[in-house]
Amino acid sequence: MKISIESSITRYRNRHKVKGLCQDCSKLALVCRSRCEIHNERNNHYTREACRKTYVQRKAEGRCPKCGVPLVEGEGVICVNCIILKKLSAQGRIK
């Protein structure tokens, strides 16, 4: 029963996507987005909120907040890998 409900939601969303309409309502979606302005913003909010929670939780557990690996003694707030990645992206080598 659950599966059939989910698949009907997927069908509904796909139908909207094809027409360029918002997944969650019937308004016109933003360009290159699958949601309208309101739902896009709401979705961003949830994503940000979820990210923040993960970050805080990982930090409390002594793990790298960015990738979640356990931090070794002597490492800073983020792990060595993430520091390297940060440096590289600061230099514009990776995005």
Number of residues that bind Zn ion (CB under 5 A): 11
> Smallest distance from the beta carbon of 8 to Zn ion, in angstroms?
18
CA-CA distance, 2 to 12, in Å (whole number)? 15
Mark residues 73-92: x for contact with Zn ion by CB under 5 A, - for none.
------x--x----------
Nearer to Zn ion, 7 or 22 (CB): 22
d(CA 52, CA 14) in angstroms, rounded, equals: 30
Amino acid at 88: L
Q: Of 25, 50, 51, 88, which lies in the binding site for Zn ion, with binding defined by CB under 5 A?
A: 25
Residue choice 21, 34, 39, 58 for contact with Zn ion (CB under 5 A): 39
Q: Among positive and negative, which fits the CA dihedral 24, 25, 31, 37?
A: negative
- What amino acid is encoded at 89 in this protein? S
State the maximum Cα–Cα separation within the chain, in Å, rounded to a whole number.
Answer: 54
Should residue 65 be labelled a site residue for Zn ion when binding is judged by CB under 5 A? no
Q: Which amino acid, 90?
A: A
Beta carbons within 10 angstroms of residue 52's beta carbon: 11
Report the residue number, 50 or 77, with the smaller CB distance to Zn ion. Answer: 77
**Residues at the interface with Zn ion (CB under 5 A):** 22, 24-25, 27, 36, 39, 64, 66-67, 79, 82
